[in-house]
Amino acid sequence: MGQRQLTKIEAAVAEIFMAAHDGANLCCTVAALNTDGLVVSIDVMADAINISPYPYGDEPLARLQMSGALDELAGMELENVDWDANGFATVGIGGNAVADVARLVERTFTRLLRCDEATYAVATSTKDLGPS
C-alpha cells in the first residue's frame, strides 16, 4: 500500500466527511496517472465514490472484489449505485469510516485502475456541489 498516497487521500476524505457533518455538500476529485499513461480519477462524496473511467464491462463490486481492492475491507458497507460499462462506476459508501474509505480509494487506484503502487502520485481538488 502506498502510505504517502493513502495519507493524502485520507486527509481529503476527512475534509469531505467533516463538511457533510456540518451540512455542506462537497466533492473531492482524486486524480492520478496510471501505468498506461492515462489520467484516472475517483470523485469522493460523503455517500459515494465515482470511478472514472471505469474500464470494465462487469459490475463494479464484483470487479473490486476480483481485483483484490476489497481485501482487508470485508466489514465495509458498499452498494452499486450506478455504472456504465467502459464509462463510470458509482459505489455507495455511506456509513463507512474515513480510514476505510481512504483505503478503498487507494486500493482502487492500484488494483483496479492500474496505478503503480510505488510511484504514482495523487492530486486532489475539492468543489462545493451546493445544496443536497
The pLDDT assigned to 72 comes to: 86
- Per-domain boundaries in the chain: 3-125
Q: DSSP character for 24? A: -
C-alpha cell at 17: 466527511
pLDDT in tens, 65-116: 999 999 989 889 999 999 999 899 999 998 899 999 999 999 999 999 999 9
Those residues whose C-beta lies under 8 Å from the C-beta of residue 15, and which sit 6 or more positions away, are 26, 28, 126
